[in-house]
Amino acid sequence: MTGLASAFFAILRRDLMLAFRHRGELANPLLFFLIIVTLYPLGVSPDPELLRRIAPGVIWIAALLAALFSLENLFRSDFDDGSLEQMLLSPQPLPVLVIAKVLAHWLVSGLPMLLLAPLLALLLDMPAKAAWALETTLAIGTPLLSLIGAIGVALTVGLKRGGILLTLLILPLYIPVLIFATNAVTAASAGMPVEGQLYFLAALLVLALTLAPAAVAAALRISMS
């Protein structure tokens, strides 16, 4: 194994190991996701017709918020215990190490959301075709949310009260994902083709994969200085 690959997998393994040593906290973003969705029938109306109509937006907004709140801890403990300093001083390229961290984070927070989504689709009485589109958009969209969000997290990691600020920085950047993902789900439930929206999301993912890691790396160096 080359040095780069072994550094990448060392970070990935370590973060996954840490996540599983805090098993109790793994479920928190999921519960958050579930509770937000539950609030809508209570706050708006339990009318199945209406719920079916707003379901894509409801689930996706809950996903945005859940992704954002779980991301807050992406670099927090590394910052506090000095591991982040050591990562920044590695001779390996920092963007690659950033990808390892984001991937580990997505595996323990984004992937479980994909597994929970069918249940939510059921709760909001979504048709099967729409539920399928929901799964697909979440599969492309949640890594995108992690990558974009990581930039904001890296910029605010040195600040004591970064939470609300992070929301302000990142949510506007999530808007295109929200628009295309919810629209794909709505179109699917009306029986219309959704390839266009999915391609657009995939293009965004490719763009984020190429640009975001470098931006996160630069932001980390700025925050640590």
Partner 1 sequence: MSDAPLRAINLECIRGDRLLFSGLSLHLSPGQLLQAEGANGAGKTSLLRVLAGLSRPAEGEVHWRGQDIQSNRAAYFSEMVYMGHAPGLKVELSPLENLKVSSALRAGTADEARIEDTLARVGLRGFEDVPARGLSAGQKQRTALCRLLLNPVLLWILDEPFTALDVHGIALVRELLEAHLANGGMALMTSHHALEVRGDCRSLNLS
Partner 2 sequence: MWTFFHKLASPKHFYRISGLLIPWLGAITALLLLSGLYFGLFKAPPDYQQGESYRIMFVHVPAAWMSMFIYTFMAVLYAIYLIWNIKLADVMASSSAAMGASFTFLALVTGSLWGKPMWGTWWVWDARLTSELILLFLYLGYIALVSAIEDKRTAARAGGLLILVGVVNIPIIHYSVEWWNTLHQGPTVTKLDKPSIHASMLLPLLLMALAFQCYYFTLVLVRARTELLDRERRSAWVKELFG
Question: What distance in Å separates the CA atoms of residue 26 and residue 49, rounded to the nearest whole number?
Answer: 34
Pick one of 165, 190, 202, 206: the residue that binds partner 2 (CB under 8 A): 165
Would you say 141 and 176 are in contact if contact means Cβ atoms under 8 Å apart?
Answer: no
Q: Which does 146 bind (CB under 5 to 8 A by kind): partner 1, partner 2, none?
A: none
206 forms part of the interface with partner 2 (CB under 8 A): no
Site string for partner 1, 75-114 (x = CB under 8 A): --x--xxxx-xxxxxxxxx---x-----------------
Q: Which is nearer to partner 2, 19 or 50 (CB)?
A: 50
Token couple for 59: 């689930």
Mark out the alpha helices in the chain (DSSP H runs): 3-21, 23-26, 28-43, 48-71, 76-81, 83-88, 94-123, 128-156, 163-189, 195-224
List interacting residues with partner 2 (CB under 8 A): 151, 155-156, 158-159, 161-162, 165, 168-169, 171-173, 175-176, 179-180, 183, 204, 211, 215, 218-219, 222-223, 225
Tell me which residues touch partner 1 (CB under 8 A): 1, 3, 6-7, 9-11, 14, 17-18, 21-22, 77, 80-83, 85-93, 97, 224-225
